[in-house]
Structure 1
C-alpha cells in the first residue's frame, strides 16, 4: 500500500508540471506534423512511368518460346505492358533506334538479349526486371521438371504456380511519411523518459525532502519501486495520448496489434528510466549526468532513425552503431508488427529491453544500498 501511495504521489506531482505536458505531448505531435508533412514526398510509394511497349523476336526452342508467350499473356492482363512480335531482326533494332518501342527482346535458347531505348531509363529498368524474373522462373521450373513425373511441358506453362509458391518477406506495404514519423516520434518520446528519471531520487536531495522521506516508515526499496512505477505510469499515459492523437487525427497506421506495440513501448520506457537512474548514480555530479544523458539520447535518436530513416551497410562499424540504438530496436520491432505481421523482432526487443533494464536496476540497487541517503 505504501508503494501505491508513493506512486500516486509521483503521478500527481508530474501531472501538475506544465512543462512535462509540453515536452511529452506538444513536442512529439508538433514534430510528427512538421516532418510527416514536409517529407511526404521522400516516402512516395508510386513512381510514374510512361507506356512500356516491348517488341520481341523468338530465335530459341519451342519450349522456351511457348513459356515466354504464356508469361507475357499473364503480364498483359495484370499490367499496362504491351508486347508485340517482330517479323525480323532488322525491324526490331530499327524500331529501337527510332524510339518506337521501349525495348527489343531476342529470345535464344534459354537466353534473352535486350536492346534498349536510351531515352527511357525507368521503363528500361522495368523491362530488365521483368525479363530477369522470367528467366529465373524458367530455369527454376526446368530444374524441378527434371525430377517431376509431370514433365517439363506442363511445368513450363502458365500453371507453374503449382510448382513455385511465392511469399514476400519484405511486405510491399510501406509506411508513408506520417505513418513513419508517428512511430519514430512515439519511440523517441518514450526514450525521453531518461531525462526525468535521473532526478527521480536525486530530486529529493535537491529539494531537501530526502531526510524526511527516509525517516518515514518506508524502506529505500519501497521508495525506489514507488517512484519508478510513478514515472512509468505517467510516461505511458503520455505515450497513449500521442498514439491515439496520431491515429485518429493524423490517420497514422498503427496496425491491428496495438496492445503488443504498447507493451513494447512500455518496456522501452522501463529501459530508459532504469538507464537514467543508473547514470545518475554512476556520474559524480548533476552536470555530468545531464551531459551524458543528452549526448546518449541524441545519438540514439539519430542512429535510430528518429529524424530520417537511417541505414548502414551490413558488416560495417556504422551498422554496429545503428544496432546499438534502443530506438532502432523499437522502431524495427513496431514497423515489423504493423507492416509484415511478424512478431519475432517485437518479442526479441521486448525481452531485451526488460533484461537490460533489470541489469541497470541491479546496479542502481547495489549503489543505493552503499549510500546513507538517497
Structure 2
C-alpha cells in the first residue's frame, strides 16, 4: 500500500506542475499543430500517372521470356504502359520527342552484356517507379542466372507464380494518414521519451543529501520509495499521453483508430522503456545534480525522434542512416501505433521484441553502471 500511496501523490504532484505540463502536453500539441499544418501538402495523396515505356527485346533465350512475363505482370498493376518498338533508333526517337518516358533495350546475348535503359529524366516520381521496376527484374534475373550456373545449365526456364504477389484489400473506407495524423503519433512517442526525465529526476532526488536523507530515515523501505516513484512516472506518462490523444482527436481531428486498447498497451511498453532509459542515465552521469544528465536525455530524445522520422518522414534511408534508425526506440513505438491504426493485418511482434530488447539492454547497462559507482 505504501508504494501506491507514494505513486498516487507523486503523480498528483507531476500533474499539478505547470512547467511539466507545458513540456509534456502543451509543447507536443503545439508541434502537432505547427508541423501538421506546415507539411500538410507533403501528405496529400496524388494521382500517379502511368509511366510510358518503349521496349526493344532482342534477347531470344529464357531471359528474354522472363522479361516479357515480368513486364506484363507489372503492366497489369497499371504502373507502366509498354509499347514494343522494332529498332533502337525508333526507341530513342520516342523518348526524345516526349512520346515515351523511357526506353528499355534488351540486346541479344544478354548473358554477355547488360540491359540498357534510356530516359530524358533522372529524377521525380516516375523515374523512381521506373528504376525500382527495372532493379526488381535485374535482381531476379541475376538470381536466375546464378541458379542456372550452379545447376550446370539445367535451369532453362524462368518460373513465374501469380502467388508471388499478395494483394491486400484495404477497404473503401481506408484513409492514409494526414500530416496531423502522422505528427500526432510521432509527437506522442517523443513525449513519452521525455518521461525518462522524470525517472532521472526521482533517482537524483533520492540520492540528494538533503531530500534523500529524509527519505532514507523514514519508516519506508528503499525499494518501496523507488518503486513508488517509478510507478508514478508510469502513471504520469499514461495520463499525459491520454490527454494528448483526446485533445488532438477532438480539436485537430487526428485519427487514432478503433484499436484503442492496443494503443494504450503500446504506450505502456514504451513508457517502461523510457523509465529504464532515465535510470540508466542517472547511474552513468558523471556527477549528481549537474546539468549533464538532463542535457544528454534531451539530446538523445531529439536525435532518436529525428532518426525515426518523427520530424520529417524519411523514406528508404539506406546505409548508416537505416542502421541507426533501427537502433532508435522511437522507431518501434511509432511502428506499433501505425500498425494498430492503419494496417488491416497488423503485425506487432517485431516492434514489441525490439522494445523489449532495448529495455533489457538499458536495464543491464544500468545495473553494470550501478555496481561501478558503488565500487568507487
Q: Normalised by the size of structure 2, how large is the TM-score?
A: 0.70
Q: Deviations over 1:233-257 (max 9, x none)?
A: 2222212333454567411579784
Where structure 1 has 5 or more consecutive residues not aligned to the other structure, the ranges are none
**Deviates most, 225-234 or 58-67:** 58-67
**Matched residue SS, 1:101:** coil
Tell me which residue corresponds to 1:352: 358
Pairs within 5 Å for 1:212-361? 213-246=215-248, 249-252=253-256, 257-275=262-280, 277-278=282-283, 283-284=287-288, 286=289, 288=290, 291-304=291-304, 305=306, 306-308=310-312, 314=319, 329-337=328-336, 338-339=338-339, 341=347, 343-357=349-363, 360=366
Tell me the CA shift for residue 79 of structure 1: 0.7
**Matched residue SS, 1:200:** helix
**Matched residue SS, 2:99:** coil
Q: Distance in 1 between matches of 2:134 and 2:244?
A: 46
**Matched residue SS, 2:358:** helix
Tell me which residue corresponds to 1:22: 22
Tell me which residue corresponds to 2:137: 134
> Are the structure 2 counterparts of residues 297 and 77 from structure 1 closer, same or farther at C-alpha, using a change threshold of 3 Å?
same
Query: 1:235, 1:269 within 8 Å by CA — same for their partners in 2?
Result: no
> Are the structure 2 counterparts of residues 192 and 54 from structure 1 closer, same or farther at C-alpha, using a change threshold of 3 Å?
closer
Tell me which residue corresponds to 1:13: 13
Tell me which residue corresponds to 1:59: 58
> Are the structure 2 counterparts of residues 191 and 279 from structure 1 closer, same or farther at C-alpha, using a change threshold of 3 Å?
farther
Tell me which residue corresponds to 2:91: 92
Q: Distance in 1 between matches of 2:36 and 2:75?
A: 36
* 1:188 equivalenced with 2:193 (yes/no): no
Q: Distance in 2 between matches of 1:113 and 1:199?
A: 61
Q: Distance in 1 between matches of 2:59 and 2:373?
A: 78
Tell me the CA shift for residue 206 of structure 1: 8.8
Where structure 2 has 5 or more consecutive residues not aligned to the other structure, the ranges are 168-174, 340-345
> Are the structure 2 counterparts of residues 360 and 15 from structure 1 closer, same or farther at C-alpha, using a change threshold of 3 Å?
same
Tell me the CA shift for residue 85 of structure 1: 2.5
Q: Distance in 1 between matches of 2:8 and 2:127?
A: 65
Tell me the CA shift for residue 100 of structure 1: 2.6
Q: Deviations over 1:282-329 (max 9, x none)?
A: 625x4x2xx2133212321232115445798756xx899x57xxx953
**Matched residue SS, 1:84:** strand
Tell me which residue corresponds to 2:342: none
Number of residues paired by the alignment?
Answer: 349
Q: Distance in 2 between matches of 1:355 and 1:91?
A: 61
> Are the structure 2 counterparts of residues 328 and 243 from structure 1 closer, same or farther at C-alpha, using a change threshold of 3 Å?
farther
Query: 2:121, 2:127 within 8 Å by CA — same for their partners in 1?
Result: no
Tell me the CA shift for residue 226 of structure 1: 2.2
Q: Distance in 2 between matches of 1:95 and 1:313?
A: 34
Q: Normalised by the size of structure 1, how large is the TM-score?
A: 0.71
Q: Distance in 2 between matches of 1:334 and 1:142?
A: 41
